[in-house]
């Protein structure tokens, strides 16, 4: 089983005004599909949601992003699904393996370089 925890990060000099809620702790088993939820009720019309993964000893690695539609990653292991008129989204990880264990960061912003990190889930 793997566990998920909740933390908040922002870039230095960026306002942390996001009203974001994520599940504080989750567990799953290898071979199962898994959902990480990111609630963002104040997401503006011009902002995207981005997901990154932090593995031990590495910086953030970009996974997937979108504006409002359901999107799949190139390898079809990840899906980003928007709900409730863009007030929340779900990162769906298919067929979880031990290699998927990491910290997952949900972020919002206009571009990948100008984002505010939102609460994180450690998987």
Q: pLDDT tens across 31-84, in order?
A: 999 899 888 888 888 888 888 888 888 888 899 988 877 778 777 889 999 998
Whether pLDDT at 6 is above 50:
no
Q: What is the pTM of this model?
A: 0.72
Which residues neighbour 74 within 8 Å (Cβ) at sequence distance 6 or greater?
A: none
Which residues neighbour 24 within 8 Å (Cβ) at sequence distance 6 or greater?
A: 4, 5, 6
Residues 1-31: b if buried by 16+ CB within 10 A, e if exposed: ebebeeeebeeeeeeeebebebeeebebeee
* Half-sphere exposure (Cβ direction) of 45: Cα atoms closer than 13 Å: 0
Q: pLDDT tens across 92-104, in order?
A: 999 999 888 888 8
> For position 9, which CATH number holds?
2.60.40.10
| Domain containing residue 117 | 2-122
Write the DSSP string, 79-109.
EEEEETTTTEEEEEEPS--GGG-SEEEEEEE
- Structural domain total, the chain: 1
Sheet (strand 61-66) strand order: 6-7, 114-122, 103-111, 48-54, 61-66
Q: pLDDT tens across 52-63, in order?
A: 888 888 888 899
For residue 8, the model assigns a pLDDT of: 38
């Amino acid at each position: 089983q793997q566990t998920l925890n909740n933390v908040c990060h922002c870039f230095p000099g960026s306002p942390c005004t996001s009203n974001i809620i994520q599940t504080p702790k989750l567990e799953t088993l290898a071979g199962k599909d898994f959902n990480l939820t990111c609630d963002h009720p104040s997401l503006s019309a011009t902002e995207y949601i981005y997901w990154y993964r932090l593995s031990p000893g590495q910086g953030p690695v970009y996974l997937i992003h979108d504006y409002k539609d359901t999107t799949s990653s190139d390898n079809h292991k990840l899906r980003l699904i928007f709900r409730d008129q863009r007030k929340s989204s779900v990162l769906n990880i298919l067929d979880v393996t031990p290699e998927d264990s990491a910290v997952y960061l949900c972020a919002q912003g206009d571009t990948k370089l100008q984002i505010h990190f939102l609460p994180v889930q450690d998987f």
